[in-house]
Amino acid sequence: MKSTVQDLRIRPLSEVDLSRVIAIDERLTGHYRPEIWERRVAYYLRRDAEACPVAELGGKVVGFMFSDVRAGEFGLEEKTGWIERFGVDPDYQGRSIGRRLFEAVLETLAERDVVMLRTLVDPKEADLASFLRAVGFQDAPLVALEMRVHAEQRRQGKP
C-alpha cells in the first residue's frame, strides 16, 4: 500500500535522521556533503531538536526544517526565529510537506514567544523564495553584505 500525505508524521529531529538529511540534500543540490550535515545535525540536536521537525512518510524521512531562536544578533533585539536550512525530497515535493514542516516550526516558535521569523534566500533560488512567500514571508528591509576573504589573507590572518 502506498503512503499518502494523510499518513505524514511530523516529529522532532533525531540522530538517526542524519543519513536521510544528507540524501535529501544531495538530491536537491547534486553535492554529497556529509561533513556539513554531521555538524549541523549535531548543532541542532544540542540546541533545540523540537524546533527542527522532520517529515516521515511510511517510515522514511522525506523532509526536514532546521530552526532556532535567537535575540540580540545583528542589532535585532526582538526574539527572532531563524529558519536556517530545509528540504523536501524531490520525489515528495508538491504534496504540502514543506508547508506542514513550516507550520510545525511556526507553532513551536510561537510557543516560545518569538516576535519575528527570518531566513535568507539566494536570489537564484526563485522556487525557494516563492515557497517562502506562499507561507507568508515578505521581503525584509535588511541588507545582507558580504566580502570574500582571499586565501593569502586567511593564511596570514590579515584583513
Model pTM score: 0.84
- CATH of 5-156, picked from 3.40.30.10, 3.40.50.970, 3.40.720.10, 3.40.630.30, is 3.40.630.30
Q: Which of 21, 51, 16, 48 is nearest to 37 (CA)?
A: 21
Mean pLDDT lowest for which of 113-122, 125-134, 142-151? 142-151
Q: Report whether 77 contacts 71 (CB < 8 A).
A: yes
86-90 LR contacts (CB < 8 Å, sep 24+): 87/21, 87/24, 87/25, 87/28, 87/63, 88/24, 88/55, 88/62, 88/63, 89/23, 89/24, 89/27, 89/62, 89/63, 90/27, 90/28
Helix (H, G, I), strand (E, B) or coil at 37: helix
> So what's the pLDDT on residue 104?
97
Q: Is the pLDDT of residue 159 over 80?
A: no
Reading phi first (left if > 0) and then psi (alpha if -120 to 50, else beta), residue 22 is in alpha
Q: How confident is the model at residue 1 (pLDDT cuts 50, 70, 90)?
A: very low
